[in-house]
Amino acid sequence: MVKILAAALVLGLSATAWAEGKDCGELKSEIEAKIKKNGVEKFSLEIVDKDAQADGKVVGTCEAGTKKIVYKKG
């Protein structure tokens, strides 16, 4: 059940978090607040270059599309 909730949360964030023009720190904070509000406690969000390989689910882009925010459970 937790895996389903986490997957739904990530997919929901993907739909709303593609705010390419936002500052990465600001967007990361907003995404983090949404994840915590949904009861997920153990996770990480990492800001990486858009072309970088990253282990996890991309939940947003920022800095005019030059960076992405990656969600990883645990």
Strand order in the sheet with 67-73: 43-49, 67-73, 57-62
Greater pLDDT, 9 or 31: 31
pLDDT (average), residues 48-72: 95
**Which residues have a Cβ under 8 Å from the Cβ of 25 and sit 6 or more positions away?**
47
Residue 68 has pLDDT above 80, yes or no: yes
| Among the listed residues 50, 20, 27, the one whose alpha carbon sits nearest the alpha carbon of residue 35 | 27
Per-residue pLDDT band at 22 (split at 50, 70, 90): confident
